[in-house]
Amino acid sequence: MSRDGIRLVHLTKRFGPVTAVDSISLDIRAGEFFSLLGPSGCGKTTLLRLIAGLELPDSGQLEISGREMTRLPPQKRPVHTVFQSYALFPHLTVFDNVAFALRMQQIPSAEIQTRVAEAMELVHISELAKRFPHQISGGQKQRVALARALINRPEVLLLDEPLAAIDAKLRKQLQSDLKELQSNLGTTFIYVTHDQDEALAMSDRIAVMRSGKIEQLGTPEAVYQSPATEFAATFLGHCNLLRGTVLDPKTVQTPVGPLHVRESLTNKTHFMIGIRPENVRLATATETENTFTGTVVESTYSGAQRDYLIKTNQTIVKVVLLSSFDATAQFKKGDEVRICLPSTALFLLSENG
C-alpha cells in the first residue's frame, strides 16, 4: 500500500466483555471514498472513532500517511469528523460556525474570509452566511457541518451516518453532492452507514462489518454481485438463498430443482446458492437450463419495478421486473409463469458462511 493512505494492523477495542473491534487489519487508499457498512452494534462507529482518536485501542496499530497515530489525541491527527447531530453553535451565524476553528487558530481575518467563502461555495451554502442554525433546514445544517469540517483541509474526513436524519429525497441529492465533492477534493472519505443503497451508490470500496470483524471487503459491484458469505448476501439487498447438494461437478440439487452452475464443485458436497431477485428472469419458450414453472403468490407495484413472489416446488422465489420491461408481463396472483435462474447470475456460499 502507498504510505499516503491509512493502515490498521490488528486493531482491537473492547468495552468490558464486549469486543467491539476484533483485530481488524485494513488498508484504506489515499483519496478513496471508503464505506464501513453494517447493522447497529457491528463495530463500524467504534472503528471510525479509533481512527479519529476519540477512542484508544486496547491493542494494534494505526498509521496515517505513514505516520504512527495509534495513541495521538484527536487534535494532532490530520482528520476531521462529521457527526449525524451536526453540533452547530446555535448562537453563531452560518459564517461564524464555519469560521470558528480558524479563529481559534488565530488565522488572519483576511485569510478567514477567503477560506470560509471557498468552503461555503464548495457545499453550496454561500447564500446562508448570515443565517442562524434555527433558520435553516436539516440538509442545510449538514452542509454547514461539512464546510466546517473541510475548512481545516484535513487529509481524512470521517463521516458518521451524516445523512441518517434527513428525509429520503434530500438524502439522495446529498449523496450525489458528497460523492462529487469527494471526487473534486481528492480527500480520503471514510463513511459509516447502515444503509446498503447509500454505501453502494457512493463508495469506491465497502467493508461489510459484522460482530467487530470485516465480513467482506471490495468494490460495490463485487460485494453485491459476488458476496462471500450468507450474511453479506442478505445484508446487501434482497437475495434468494437455496440450500444445495452436489449431484455432479456442475449440478446442484436445490428445493426448486437441479441447478447448473458455472464453477466446478469437486471436493464439496453442500452449498447455499444465491441469486438476486433482479437476476431471475422470465424464461423464453425455448429455454430449458435452470428453468422452472411456478405460481404467482404475490405481486407488488412500486413505480419503477414490480416485485413478484413465485412459488415453485414448494419454494418461494422473489423476482423483480422493471415496470417498463413489458406492459403485458404484469402477472396477478394465481398466474402460472416460467422463470429462469441463469447460471451466470448464481453465486455459491458454503453452508457455514
CB-based contact 100:148 (threshold 8 Å)? yes
CB-based contact 172:184 (threshold 8 Å)? no
Mean pLDDT of 156-184: 86
CA angle in degrees (0–180, nearest 5) for 71-100-50 = 20
Q: Check: pTM over 0.85? Answer yes or no.
A: yes
Most confidently modeled range among 17-31, 79-93, 141-155: 17-31
Mean pLDDT of 139-150: 89
Asked if pLDDT for residue 90 goes beyond 90, the answer is yes
Q: Report the C-alpha gap between 9 and 59 in whole angstroms.
A: 9
| Nearest alpha-carbon partner for 340 in 288, 302, 266, 304 | 288
Residue 310 one-letter amino acid: I
Asked if pLDDT for residue 2 goes beyond 60, the answer is no
Helix count and strand count (H, E) for the chain: 8, 20
Using one digit for the tens of pLDDT, what is the confidence trace for 226-267?
998 999 999 998 999 999 888 888 899 999 999 999 887 776
pLDDT band of 327, cuts 50, 70, 90:
low
φ/ψ of residue 93, rounded to 5: -70, 170
Asked if pLDDT for residue 1 goes beyond 50, the answer is no
The residue count for the chain: 353
φ/ψ of residue 129, rounded to 5: -50, -40
Q: Report the C-alpha gap between 349 and 353 in whole angstroms.
A: 6
Q: Report the C-alpha gap between 169 and 181 in whole angstroms.
A: 19
What domains are defined for the chain?
6-234 (3.40.50.300), 238-349 (2.40.50.100)
Distances from the Cα of 333 to the Cα of 119, 296, 297, 310, angstroms? 55, 5, 5, 9
Mean pLDDT of 37-65: 96
pLDDT band of 225, cuts 50, 70, 90:
very high
pLDDT band of 352, cuts 50, 70, 90:
very low
Mean pLDDT of 7-15: 98
Lowest mean pLDDT among 2-6, 14-18, 299-303: 2-6
Q: Is 268 exposed, middle or buried (0-12, 13-18, 19+ CB in 10 A)?
A: middle
Residue 192 one-letter amino acid: V
| Nearest alpha-carbon partner for 101 in 65, 53, 153, 50 | 153
> Which residues, 6 or more positions from 148, have their beta carbon under 8 angstroms from its beta carbon?
88, 97, 98, 100, 101, 119
Q: What is the pLDDT of residue 326?
A: 60
Query: Residue 254, SS3?
Result: strand
CB atoms inside a 10 Å sphere around CB 127: 10
